[in-house]
Amino acid sequence: AQHAASAVERARIRLQAAGLRNDTAEDRKALTELANADPGNPDQWRAVGDAQFAAHAYGEAAAAFRRQLALVPDNQNALNQLAYAAANAGDLPAAVETLRRYQAAAPNDANAIDSLGDVYLLSGRLREAEQLYLGAYRKNPKFLDGADQFKAAMARLMTGDIAGATEIHERYIQSVAGSSGHVAEIERAEWAFASGRRKEAYQQVLS
């Protein structure tokens, strides 16, 4: 016990020193050392995962989130973060399986469906992403202020179907009309510009 305590203390000192030097690489090493010195603490593994993810070290991030989940199996944030780490590391099957676990743990949470859409989008599976975003919207239209419809429109746009994407985007505009921060004319102008119709975008702004 005394040896473990001293290992934790050494890791904390190393972490503090890294912070003072603003040394992010050393910070990640110290966080990992601290987690290994206190392996039963899920918060330590979460911190390692977050730091590695921020550094785009996705394989290491995924490994840390798995260690966290071994201690807290149904932690929804850990499941979500593991899925994104796995997807960014190129492991789509692991990302999908993790988000299925998230859905089973929280069947009424639209975020699990939205995240699955993001994972498919990252993997270039645009039609699946679109359908998942629309499914997340149906599950909870208020989630992300209705932005899943916008994300579905973007996924369709990425397939080259401008007309279909614009139809989805118009439904998004209608659903958020009157909400704080949403002005239909500006939303339409921004969409026209994003979809390559610059002349129409300028006309929207000037009208």
The per-residue pLDDT for range 153-186, each reduced to its tens digit, is 999 999 999 999 999 999 999 988 766 666 788 8
Distance CA 14, CA 63 (A): 22
Quick one: residue 124, left, alpha or beta (phi over 0 = left, psi -120 to 50 = alpha)? left
Mean pLDDT over all residues of the chain? 88
Could you tell me the pTM of the whole model? 0.84
Mean pLDDT of 69-82: 97
DSSP 143: G
Q: Which long-range contacts (CB under 8 A, 24 or more apart) does 194-197 make?
A: 194/157, 195/157, 195/162, 195/165, 195/166, 196/162, 197/162
